[in-house]
A = this chain, B = another copy of it.
Amino acid sequence: MFIYNVTGIRVRYADTDQMGYVYYGNYARYYEIGRVEALRALGFHYKEMEDSGIMMPVYDLYCKFHQPARYDDLLTIRVKILRPPTVRVCFEYEIRNQEQLLLNTGSTTLVFQNIKTGKLCPCPEDLSAKLRPFFSEHNEWLV
């Protein structure tokens, strides 16, 4: 399993709605930040993959809103990848505020797609290799 914490995500006025909460559609942006920064921490740059001709559209999204995030909150997103990527990869997310209160949990499934042909394709070897150590049998024993 791969786990990474992305810290320091500040809730902006732009993110709130008239309830004084973060609008429920804006968590998708936080999830995007979470997964892109988690992969960047591994040395994998999403932009470079897209420049090389493969993009990752989102296939499904699930969010559960436990407590509202509020203006100026400083969020931490815990990102998990539980299984090695195939033609798809699933990310799980937990968002907490500055007091470690759990605000939101969710998940997204993304697929790998050839930009030119529009066809699905396997996870690029570059990314698979970077994730492999987190899913090795040995590693599972340790967990």
Contacts and interface: CB of A to CB of B under 8 A. Distances in A.
A135 interface: no
Contact of A13 (B23, B61, B72): B23
Size category of the binding interface on chain A: 35 or more
A46 interface: yes
A132 B96 CA distance: 37
A12 B25 contact: no
A125 interface: no
A23 B18 contact: no
A25 B14 contact: yes
B13 A17 contact: yes
A64 interface: yes
A60 interface: yes
Interface string A23-61: 111111100110010000000011100100001011111
B59 A65 contact: yes
A84 interface: no
A73 B65 CA distance: 27
A93 B19 CA distance: 23
Contact of A32 (B12, B47, B65, B108): B12
Given A62-B62, A64-B59, A65-B59, A28 B46 contact: no
Contacts of A108: 24
A4 to B, nearest CB: 16
A32 B14 contact: yes
